[in-house]
Amino acid sequence: MATTKNKKSGGTKKEVAKLSRWLHIYLSMLSFAIVLFFSFTGLTLNHPNWLGGDKQIEQKYKGKLNVKWVNQADTNKIAKLEIVEFIREKYKVKGAVSEFRIEDYDVTVTFKGPAYSCDAFIDRENGTYEITEIKMGVIALWNDLHKGRDSGKGWSWVIDVSAVFLIVVSLTGLILLLFIKKKRVAGLVTAILGLIISYLIYLIFVP
């Protein structure tokens, strides 16, 4: 009876080890690009001046739109959709509308995207407007994607899935370590030391 139990226990351990190895290998390869991206952008995020990440191009535009869209006593009748589509079409504006503010004398429309912003100020009396568009470089774009800033729900899902992948890869790596008797203790001690060193660095250098 004891022999049968030992065989079952041994078989279960082998299956767990086999599954952990499979998950660790293939999830590591699947998330390789993601890990590389977030590792690299971790450096550029910490050093935004590297590779010209702080550079930006600012453009300004002036014009006049259909005054009936904004010159309405009832602010509910202001043509929000027409205004947004007009700006997008005429100036090829990117990003999502993050703010549409209506005040007594003007309307402000703000578009936001990774490494991108555009603000339109419209006079409600005569329909004249001024637009300021700011575009930043590729490094700034990558940094905003790393932070998930103004990147939309789709990219937010990418970040969440990436986090799950990395958690599974880490846990399966730990499980595999536990099955290697000769390196189990040394591996666990190293992991604990890594945690302690990280905490000490936080205590010493973070104000």
Position 8 confidence tier, pLDDT thresholds 50, 70, 90: low
CA proximity to 89, closest of 134, 125, 120: 120
**What is the reported pLDDT for 24?**
76
Distance CA 58, CA 131 (A): 10
pLDDT at 10: 58
1 has pLDDT over 60: no
DSSP string, 60-95: EEEEE--GGGT--SSGGGS-HHHHHHHHHHHH---S
Residue 46, pLDDT score: 81
Residue 108 zone, left/alpha/beta (φ > 0; ψ -120 to 50; rest): beta
Tokens representing 177 are 């370590």
Residue 57, strand partner residues = 135
Of 115, 83, 86, 157, nearest in space to 99 by CA: 83
Q: What is the pLDDT of residues 23-56, one digit of tens each?
A: 777 777 777 888 888 888 888 888 877 776 677 8
Considering only CA atoms, which of 28, 13, 35, 29 is closest in space to residue 171?
Answer: 28
- 107 forms beta bridges with 102, 122
pTM of the model: 0.74
pLDDT of residue 164 exceeding 90, the answer is no
pLDDT at 5: 52
For residue 12, is pLDDT > 80?
no
Tell me the sheet residues that pair with 158.
none
pLDDT at 84: 96
What is the per-residue pLDDT for 110?
Answer: 97
What letter does residue 151 receive in the DSSP assignment? -
Higher pLDDT, 87 or 202: 87
Average pLDDT score over the chain: 85
d(CA 41, CA 158): 15
Burial (CB count within 10 angstroms: exposed 0-12, middle 13-18, buried 19+), residue 34: middle
Distance CA 143, CA 180 (A): 39
Q: 162 in the Ramachandran plot: left (φ > 0), alpha (ψ -120 to 50) or beta?
A: alpha
* pLDDT, tens only, 94-153: 899 999 999 999 999 999 999 999 999 999 999 999 999 999 988 888 889 888 888 888
| Pairing status of strand 96-102 against strand 128-136 | unpaired
